[in-house]
Structure 1
Amino acid sequence: MKIRTALTLKYTCITATIFLLCTVLVYLVSEHTRDQTFFRNLKSEGITKANLFLAGQVDASTMQSVYLNNRKFINEVEVAVYTTDFKMLYHDAIHNDIVKETQGMINEILKKKEIEFHVGKYQGIGIVYTYKGRQYIVTAAAYDGYGYSNLVGLQETLIVLFIVGLSLIFIAGYVLAKLSLKPIRNIVNEAEMITASHIDRRIPVKNEKDELGELSIAFNELLKRIEVSFDSQKQFVSNVSHELRTPLAALTAEIDVSLQKDRSNEQYRQAILNMQQDAKRMTRLIDGLLNLAKADYCKEEISMREVRLDELLLDVREMILRAHPEYNVELLFSNEEDDDDRLITTLGNPYLLNIAFANLIENNCKYSANHSSIVQISFNGEWSVVRMSDNGSGMSDKDKQHLFTLFYRGAKEKSVEGHGIGMVLAKKIVSLHGGNIAVNSEQGKGTIFVVEIPHV
């Protein structure tokens, strides 16, 4: 069921319920008004007849004759007059006797002075009427034919009004829902025109302050993020294809050359060593890309625990020296007077932090003349600080500007092996842990990486 239909039905049901309650209330109020009005009319008619009888202005037989004759055409009021000791003085039609008075009723009338009651479809009253200092009991009863006839007419009118009103409410609800949802339909039409080849299109915003305007703005922001991600993905795929093509081409060339003619054992050995080097290069590139993908995870998806940075850096140093025995990594610990381990303990993922610091330290070693890096651990305020410095040739302004650009290689790309992933990966991992990374470098004066990570 479409929202337009659902809204129309809900609006109609709610309004119809309120309308029905109002019509029922009108009917009940009308019935109550008719009931009370007729009781007043009975009282007036009873007092009038009692007064005529007790005053002797009209004899009983005449009054009874008038009652019986009128009863053929109208709903005449039947009146009876009694003394307080239950002696009947007058009755319009004793043979009919709608009220059927009893001693108990007389006593109740004397006690309450006035009562109202129903006898089947008839209404009746009983009152104490005082005439010339003496008290009499007067009862009156009749059927309110005129009132009930009007009530039936009102009931039919209300039913017709309810049916007509319900139809109009449904039509009005449908039109209102259609008009209200028309902007959403326009948004849907615009969204359907946004494709992979037209991802730069945006939903027009007519009113930024209403809910649909906010929805359009949020949707446009989402499209903006998707467009950035989409462009990054295309660029990533393009760069990866380019980077993988080089070692694969070299590997294929080595195989082709080896198969062209018979060679000596030493030549075959050299060819295999070259192929092994190309394969290792592809392995490092693929490992870098996998680690880069892991660094793109949400923080909530990564297992975090307390990690001591001094112990982590010792592990990193051991791992680097095992892979590159010619490198030299020196660890320095500051603030030794404060032995609070929490100041150099952070909440993080050891595997990712290991990769980040290893890439930064290896970068120092690769670009310094003596392949060395000095790593210093300190803290200030809420941050644990790790400084990694070298005495290499430093970086140009262009290299610093593109240092954290994926697959970017600096001016020394031909003399130093790499893929342009390490720095981007390190920055993403540090950001993932809520930290900051900065680089200070001048040509001829070396490079310093400064990593700040919040401690526990």
Structure 2
Amino acid sequence: MKIRIRIIWLLSTTFAILVLLFSAFVYVLSSNYVFNDFYDRLKTHTNTTIRIELDHRGDKEFVKEFKEEYLEKLPEENSIIVALDKQGKPLLNTKQSKEDSHFIQKVIRYKSGQERKGNLLKYGVLYVDKDGKSYVVYTSARNMYYTKYKNYLGGLLISLFFSAVVLIVVLSLWLSKRLIKPISDLSSSVHKIGTENLHFRIENKQERDELGELIRTMNNMLDRLETSFETQNNFISNASHELNTPLTSIIGQADLMLSKERSAEDYKTALNHILEQAEKLNKKTKALLFLARTGFDGKKMTIEKLRMDELIFETMETVNRIIPGNKIQFDFESLPENLDALEIKGNSQLLQLALSNVLLNASKYSDNQPVRIYLTHTKEAISVHVQDHGIGIPIQDLSHIYDPFFRASNTTSFEGYGIGLPLTRNIMRQHQGKIIVHSEEEIGTLVSLVIPYKS
């Protein structure tokens, strides 16, 4: 069932039930009011009968005239006076039924009373005159007003109910169309998006509600998708170039050697060149495969307790073997007083690889100038900071440093493949951490590896 139909059905049903309950409430209250009003009329007629028939004051004729002139004659009205003996028992005549007898007893017991049978209503009181004689005086009449009123009110409420249902359905149609329109517009906009126009963004006219939040989320997702596609395109372009260069060199060298007979020395030189290019190709291929593996979620990697200072020292030993005489120094003053803050959970080999990539880059791109390593920590994470004073990264290249095979425009005189930082970022993601790079050209670079304690 479509959302619009569900909205119409839900609103119509809900309001119809509310209108029905309200109509029933009005009907019941009105009915009670009609009966109470009729009992008040019976009470007035009963009291008037007492004034005329039993009261010993001299205004009987006036009251009788007043009753005949101003008091409305009720349908089948009948006023009855029943005398009581000295023991308080009613002196009934043969015309009075058992029901009348029960009603009279009720009036004697409670001093007054009322009774209803169908539309026949009775009201009576116990009256004691000046001579001490007791009487039960009651008036009965048929409430024909209730029958007419009930038919009129019932018909009116039924008409209003069906009119309200029609109005509710119309309003529900209009409201559902108004509510669904932003969603329909969103659906139409989403259909326009494809790989060829990922730059397209959905116009957000619902800034302050949940739909506006959804549109903002979708636009953010499109930002990430566009970046991902651009990164993928750059990766394919750079990878093709990086792999094609050694292959072209190998094929060209082989074709040259096979074009005619060569000396043994020429063949040896050519084979050494081919071997060199093949080794480069092998390194790039392995780097690509490792980069792809670290792009997974890392659920299967081995996690163990590690000491961050020990991890740093082991990595520095590895870097010392690769770049002898480097000037990488660890700042021991940055060690926390509480050594428990140095304990993390992670994969030792991957974290060493990530840190070694950063240290090698820092030493290489600073022409072996001093590189400082220091630690900071919070309640949530510990951070390793690597500060160099090298060539830095041009500002226009900072947004591409995580693209595989991308190399900054000022690194042409340095060897490298452009795999280190993308690989390091993947490793940090596997540990629910992050890498942060701050750099200024010709000033230096600060790389921070943030590793949460609960990784």
- TM-score of Structure 1 vs Structure 2, range by shorter chain: 0.7 to 0.9
Q: CA deviation at 1:26?
A: 0.9
Helix, strand or coil: the match of 2:100?
Answer: coil
Report the CA distance between 1:166 and its aligned residue. Answer: 0.8
Tell me which residue corresponds to 1:200: 199
Could you tell me how far apart the structure 2 residues matched to 1:338 and 1:118 are? 92
Residue equivalent to 2:243? 244
Match of 1:335 in 2: 332
Note if contact 2:81-2:138 (Cα within 8 Å) is conserved in structure 1. yes
Contact 2:328–2:371 (CA<8 Å) still a contact in 1?
Answer: yes
Distance verdict in 2 for CA 1:201–1:32, change over 3 Å: same
User: Over aligned residue pairs, what C-alpha RMSD do you find?
Assistant: 4.6
Partner of 1:395: 391
The residue number in structure 2 matching 1:64 is: none
TM-score by length of 1: 0.73
Offset of residue 169 of structure 1: 0.9
Name the CA shift for 1:211/1:80 in 2 (closer, same or farther; >3 Å).
same
Q: What per-residue deviation string (whole Å, max 9, x for no partner) do you get for residues 258-285 of structure 1?
A: 7778999998887776555445434432
Match of 1:360 among 358, 361, 369: 358
Instruction: Tell me: CA distance 1:421–1:51, structure 2 relative to 1, closer, same or farther (3 Å).
Output: same
Q: Distance in 2 between matches of 1:399 and 1:107?
A: 106
Separation in structure 2 between the aligned mates of residue 207 and residue 316 of structure 1, nearest angstrom: 52
Q: Distance in 1 between matches of 2:342 and 2:184?
A: 56
Structure-2 change in CA distance of 1:218 and 1:376 (3 Å): closer
Aligned match for 1:404, one of 401, 404, 413: 401
What's the counterpart of residue 280 of structure 2? Answer: 281
Distance in 2, matches of 1:55 and 1:344, equals 107
Note the 1:38-117 alignment, pairs <5 A: 38-49=38-49, 75-85=75-85, 86-88=89-91, 94=95, 97=97, 99-102=99-102, 105-117=103-115
Change (3 A) 1:273 1:24: farther
Deviation at 1:302, TM superposition (A): 8.5
Could you tell me which amino acid in structure 2 is paired with residue 124 of structure 1? K
Contact 1:109 1:126 (C-alpha < 8 Å) held by counterparts:
yes
Within 2, Cα distance between the matches of 1:169 and 1:256? Answer: 85
Cα distance in 2 between the residues matched to 1:78 and 1:399: 107
- Cα deviation for residue 294 of structure 1 reads 6.4
1:36 match: secondary structure: helix
Question: Counterparts of 2:337 and 2:360 in 1: how far apart (Å)?
Answer: 29
Q: Is the 8 A contact 1:113 1:127 kept in 2?
A: yes
Secondary structure of 1:100's aligned partner: helix
The answer to whether the 8 A contact 1:126-1:137 is kept is yes
Q: Determine if contact 1:361/1:373 at 8 Å carries over to the other structure.
A: no
What is the aligned residue count?
Answer: 425
Q: Is the 8 A contact 1:310 1:377 kept in 2?
A: no
- Deviations along 1:314-365, one digit per CA (max 9) or x if unpaired, are 443555577x5x7456775543798753465556553442222222343466
Q: Tell me, yes or no, if the aligned pair for 1:321 and 1:328 is still in contact at 8 Å.
A: yes
Deviation at 1:32, TM superposition (A): 0.2
The Cα shift of 1:306 comes to 4.8
Partner residue, 1:231: 230
Distance 1:302 1:41 in 2: 93
- What is residue 60 of structure 2 aligned with on the other side? none
The 1:290–1:150 alpha-carbon spacing in structure 2 relative to 1, beyond 3 Å, is same
What does residue 146 of structure 2 align with? Answer: 147
Change (3 A) 1:305 1:268: same
Deviation at 1:198, TM superposition (A): 2.1
1:10: Cα distance to partner?
Answer: 1.4
Distance in 1 between residues matched to 2:155 and 2:336, nearest whole Å:
93
CA distance 1:118–1:433, shift in 2 (3 Å): same
Verify the 8 A CA contact 1:343 1:455 in the aligned structure 2.
no
Residue in 2 that maps onto 1:4 = 4
Code of the residue aligned with 1:237 in structure 2: it is: I
| Residues 295 and 352, structure 1, Cα contact 8 Å, conserved in 2 | no
Pair 1:118–1:329, CA change in 2 (3 A)? same
Deviates more, 1:7-16 or 1:242-251: 242-251
Q: Equivalent residue of 2:99, what SS? A: coil
Aligned to 1:202, the other structure's residue is in SS state coil
Deviating more after overlay: 22-31 vs 309-318? 309-318
Deviation at 1:430, TM superposition (A): 6.4
Q: Percent identity?
A: 27
Q: 1:114 to 1:255 in 2, by over 3 A?
A: farther
SS of the equivalent of 1:220 reads helix
Check the 8 A contact 2:302/2:347 in 1, yes or no. yes
The 3 A distance-change label for structure 1 pair 296 and 151 is: same
Cα distance change of structure 1 residues 363 and 335 upon mapping to structure 2, 3 Å threshold: closer
Q: 1:449 to 1:284 in 2, by over 3 A?
A: farther
The answer to whether the Cα contact below 8 Å between 2:362 and 2:386 also exists between their aligned partners in 1 is no
Structure 1 counterpart of 2:126, which letter? V
**SS of 1:223's equivalent?**
helix
- 1:161 is matched with 160
Which amino acid in 2 is paired with 1:8? Answer: I
Q: Per-residue deviation at 1:114?
A: 0.7
Stretches of structure 2 that go unaligned for 5 or more consecutive residues are: 57-72
Range with bigger deviation, 2-11 or 271-280: 271-280
Residue 116 of structure 1 aligns to a residue whose secondary structure is strand
Aligned mates of 2:265, 2:395 — CA distance in 1: 41
> Counterpart of 1:313?
312
The answer to whether the Cα contact below 8 Å between 2:359 and 2:386 also exists between their aligned partners in 1 is no
Instruction: Return the alpha-carbon distance in structure 2 between the equivalents of residues 218 and 396 of structure 1.
Output: 34
Distance 1:330 1:138, change over 3 A: same
Name the residue aligned to 1:420: 418
Query: In 2, distance between residues paired with 1:448 and 1:228?
Result: 24
Q: Distance in 2 between matches of 1:264 and 1:120?
A: 131
CA distance in 2, matches of 1:174, 1:280: 71
CA contact (8 A) 1:399 1:410 kept: no
For 2:447 and 2:111, locate their aligned partners in 1 and report how far apart those are by CA, in whole Å. 103
Partner Cα distance (1:264, 1:351) in 2: 47
In 2, the alpha carbon distance for the partners of 1:228 and 1:435 equals: 18
- Asked whether 1:122 is paired with 2:117, we answer no
